[in-house]
Amino acid sequence: MGLNDKKTVIIGATPNPARFAFKAADMFASYDVPFVPVGIKKGEVFGEEIQDIKEKPSVEEVHTVTMYIGPRHQDEWMDYIISLKPKRIIFNPGTENFEFYKKAEQAGIETIEACTLVMLSTGQF
């Protein structure tokens, strides 16, 4: 499976270049990984319009969800994220959430504590 088969939803997407979610979108664009930015911020990242998480946008054929929102903001979106039926959820540093891991794993979704940027740059994505 090539990187272009690993459609990724960025939860916590932002047009702010200082944020890691923005850096992830940049890397996805340069590595030709299809991505869907989802968050509360309005705007665009690397040609993709940020989808409003409050509308729980439907996304088909999701391979990976990468988390960029902290645990205290995850509860209300947990069921939505699981409904996307990703093969895995990457919990970037600062987003670790044991309850979410349990719920995702019960739904057959792999959970990984890792940095998406490191995974991409070292060929582990």
> What pLDDT was estimated at residue 117?
97
pTM for this entry: 0.97
**Phi-psi label, residue 7: left if phi above 0, alpha if psi -120 to 50, beta otherwise:** beta
The first and second tokens of residue 21, run together, are 């979610």
66-94 mean pLDDT: 97
59-67 mean pLDDT: 98
CATH number of the domain residue 93 falls in: 3.40.50.720
The first and second tokens of residue 74, run together, are 């995850």
pLDDT in tens, 19-59: 999 999 999 999 999 999 999 999 999 999 999 999 999 99
pLDDT in tens, 95-112: 999 999 999 999 999 999
Q: Which domain holds residue 37?
A: 3-122
